[in-house]
Chains A and B, each alone.
Chain A
Amino acid sequence: MKIQISDLYFTYPTGVEALRGISFMIESGEQVAIVGQNGAGKTTLVKHFNGLLQPTSGRVLIGDWNTKEHSVAKLARRVGYVFQNPDEQLFSKNVGIEVAFGPKNLGFDSERIQALVKDTLAMTELSDKTEMNPYDLSATWRKMVALASIVAMDTDIVIFDEPTTGQDAVNVTRIANVIRNLREHGKTVITITHDIDFCAENFERVIALSQGKVLLDGKANEVLGQEDLLATTYVDPPQLTRLGKRLGFKETVRNQEEFLNALKM
């Protein structure tokens, strides 16, 4: 399902102009990372994809739906959104009920709900925690429950808002696996992240926002190599990209494999 953003402006009621003329398209099945300075408008932008925010002017199309003409509840069939803070979205007494809540609300039949819950719990490594209260789990696992409760809704588009914040290396790998899994199922995944190494290792396209506008948009290697421009929105290139530059590599490298290959040449 295609996302089309045309000339999007958004001003908060307080007068803060958060988005100032954003246009781009995301094709069905793309994996896109959104990076940029705190306050650049990343969260404001993705909240337009499921109708939590409405454009002050401009247009957001999710497939053939204009978000202005559809309720948040209806858009939830097409766009799943995992909040930055899992505690803002968890409320059920156990993990199984929490994860089934979304698909149930979308009115799926019980067979499909069961299958979705089972697959999602396996994908997020929560199968052995079905009976537990989410609030008895550690923050790490609560994050996975929040992820699972959205993934189970089987939307074509899934948005993650800073999924790796405060997560250790093991859980970052788990989250990367979920994203890979969604890609294999043809889902569109859009992730806001400050973890630029995670971004480099898991996303093919990167959009850098700066002060409510698109600063850079393109293939990960093209965007992540632009050290000077990225610095204007407070982003450093990935560690291995910087190292490659320092060593005088001609090509931009962004992960271990690319780095070692370039080193051998």
Chain B
Amino acid sequence: MAIVTLDNVTYKYPLTDSPALKEISLQVNEGEFVAVIGPNGAGKSTLCYALAGFVPHFFKGELTGTVLVDGKDLLKSTLNEWVLHVGLAFQNPFNQISGAKYTVFEELAFGLENIGIPRDEMISRVETAMKLTGISDLADRSPYSLSGGQQQRVALTSILVMQPKVLVLDEPTSQMDPIGTREVFSVIRTLAEQGMTVILVEHKVEWIAQFADRVIALHDGQILLEGTPSEVLTSDLLQGKGFGISRYTSTAREAKKLGLWKKETLPVTLDEAAEGFS
């Protein structure tokens, strides 16, 4: 069942002439893990903001069409109500850390304090979430003393403690080391299997291919393609438009020209590439 529905959504930031999102219609089912890809400037972050209510409630500007989450209409809700259903982790973790807390543990409890969660529950939610994202050992550090990748884990965890129905993540692993990235993807996959709906903006196609249920390719504020990771990520339509393409795909495409790749479909994961080349 669809928990997120966008119907013909067009959005223009204040003082701009052309819309950042153009006639976007999409549905995301409960517990689905959807990845959004696209070149810089395609509207990926704006889409995240629209899902999380920052567009139009915080950024203002003009939104037409309908954004529904869990049956509620964005344009008929306040941002305060909206954030209880949809959690957003920003692209840049620096922008998300409150600056009001001395330790990571307190930082993670900040959102919960604001919505009046009882102390015992706060502590248990924070501890559980820290364990999940592997940052228990950072609990007493200052959020500002952490490396970029560690800060990103804190930013992600600070959203998880809120237990939103819909989790929106804007490049949550951009500053993480490679294996850390894979771990976070695997955590997100688990959350989706437990029923959380996840919408993730990401350039790292290898992990999208392995973990996401569906991929949406955005280009110039519009949906260019939508489908399974394999359908979308190997499509010729992505070529020359600034989309990230896995080395497995691009190399097999080249090998195909040389007669060294025999299969009809191109690979997007290591397993598919290894199978096709051997």
Q: Name B94's closest neighbour in chain A (CB-CB).
A: A85
Binary interface profile of A, 136-173, with partner B (CB < 8 Å = 1, else 0)?
A: 00111000000000000000000000100111111100
CB pair A260 B260 closer than 8 Å: yes
Residue on A nearest B92 in the bound complex, by CB? A85
Judge whether B250 and A196 touch: CB under 8 Å. no
Contact A168 B203 (CB under 8 A): yes
Min CB–CB distance A233 → chain B (angstroms): 8
CA distance A12 to B145 in the complex (A): 10
Task: Add 10 more A-B contacts to A16-B145, A247-B274, A260-B255 (CB < 8 A).
Answer: A14-B145, A38-B148, A38-B180, A140-B41, A170-B242, A234-B180, A238-B247, A239-B270, A260-B260, A264-B258
Can you report 11 A-B residue pairs in the complex whose CB atoms are below 8 A from each other? A37-B177, A38-B175, A139-B40, A166-B171, A167-B40, A194-B175, A194-B181, A235-B179, A247-B277, A256-B250, A260-B258
Instruction: For the complex, give the distance between the alpha carbons of A166 and B204 in Å.
Output: 10
C-alpha gap A239/B274 in the complex (Å): 11
Q: Does B63 make an interface contact (CB < 8 A)?
A: no
Of the residues A16, A165, A169, A264, contact of B260 by C-beta under 8 Å: A264
Look across to chain B and name the residue whose beta carbon is closest to the beta carbon of A38.
B149
Q: For B171, list chain A residues within 8 Å (CB).
A: 166
> Among the interface residues A40, A139, A194, A196, which one has the most CB atoms of the partner chain B within 10 A?
A194
By the criterion CB–CB under 8 Å, are B246 and A239 in contact? yes
Size of chain A's interface in residues, with CB distance under 8 A? 42
Residue of B nearest to A141 (CB): B40
CB neighbors of A among B170-210 (8 A): 171, 174-182, 203, 206
Q: Which residues of B contact A256 (CB under 8 A)?
A: 247, 250-251, 254
Structural contact, A138 and B40, CB atoms closer than 8 A: yes
Is B273 part of the contact surface with A, judged by Cβ < 8 Å?
yes
What residues of A have a CB within 8 angstroms of the CB of B145 in the complex? 12, 14, 16
A242 on interface, CB distance cutoff 8 Å: yes
A22 at interface (Cβ–Cβ under 8 A)?
no
A139 to B170, CA, bound (A): 14
Q: A235 contacts which chain B residues (CB < 8 A)?
A: 177-179
* Complex alpha-carbon distance, A186 and B39, angstroms: 32
Q: Is B139 an interface residue (CB 8 A)?
A: no
Interface size, B (range)? 35 or more
- Which residues of chain A have C-beta atoms less than 8 A from B244's C-beta? 168-169
B254, A246: Cβ atoms closer than 8 Å = no
User: Is A259 in contact with chain B by the CB < 8 A criterion?
Assistant: yes
Query: CA separation between A106 and B150, bound complex, in Å?
Result: 36
Contacting pair A43 B277 (CB below 8 A): no
Please report the number of residue pairs spanning A and B whose Cβ atoms sit closer than 8 angstroms: 118
A171-B40 contact in complex given A85-B92, A256-B254, C-beta closer than 8 Å: yes
Q: How long is the Cα–Cα vector from A94 to B265 in the complex, in angstroms?
A: 48
Is B254's CB under 8 angstroms from A37's CB? no
Q: Mark A31-50, 1 if CB is under 8 A from B, else 0.
A: 00000111110010000000
B180→A239 contact, CB < 8 A: no
- A43 contact set on B, CB distance < 8 A: 147
Contact with B along A231-248 (1 / 0, CB 8 A): 101111011101100110
Asked if B11 is at the interface of the complex by the 8 Å CB criterion, the answer is no
Chain B 30-61 per-residue mask, 1 if CB under 8 angstroms from chain A, else 0: 00000000111100000000000000000000
| With contact pairs A85-B92, A168-B39 given, residues A236 and B274 touching in the complex (Cβ less than 8 Å) | no
Known: A194-B177, A236-B182, A260-B260. A39 touches B147 (CB 8 A): yes
Residues of A within 8 A of B (CB): 12, 14, 16, 36-40, 43, 84-85, 138-140, 162, 165-171, 194, 196-197, 231, 233-236, 238-240, 242-243, 246-247, 256, 259-260, 263-264
Distance in angstroms between the alpha carbons of A260 and B175 in the assembled complex: 31
When C-beta atoms are compared, the residue in chain B nearest to A44 turns out to be B147
Kindly report which residue of chain A lies nearest to residue B178, judged by CB atoms. A236
Most buried by A among B177, B243, B248, B273: B177
Determine which of A12, A162, A168 lies in contact with B242 in the assembled complex, contact meaning CB atoms within 8 Å. A168
- Residues in A with CB closer than 8 Å to B91 are 166
Instruction: Say whether A246 contacts B270, CB under 8 Å.
Output: yes
Is B245 part of the binding interface, using a Cβ–Cβ cutoff of 8 Å?
yes
Q: What residues of A have a CB within 8 angstroms of the CB of B150 in the complex? A: 38-39
B258 A243 Cβ-Cβ under 8 A: no
Indicate whether B114 reaches chain A with its CB closer than 8 angstroms.
no
Q: Are B40 and A165 in contact (CB under 8 A)?
A: no
The closest CB in chain B to the CB of A240 belongs to B247
Q: For the complex, what is the distance from the CA of A235 to the CA of B149, rounded to whole Å?
A: 13
Q: Mark B148-176, 1 if CB is under 8 A from A, else 0.
A: 11100000000000000000000100111
| Residues of the A chain whose Cβ atoms lie less than 8 Å from the Cβ of B40 | 138-140, 166-168, 170-171
Contacts of B270 in A (CB 8 A): 239, 242-243, 246
CB atoms of A236 and B39 under 8 A apart? no
A246 CA to B178 CA in the complex, in Å?
Answer: 19
In the assembled complex, how far is the CB of residue B90 from the closest CB belonging to chain A, in whole angstroms? 11
With both chains docked as a complex, state the minimum distance between the C-beta of A240 and any C-beta of chain B, in angstroms.
Answer: 5
Q: Which residues of B contact A236 (CB under 8 A)?
A: 178-179, 182
Query: Residue A197 contacts which of B148, B174, B247 (CB distance < 8 angstroms)?
Result: B247
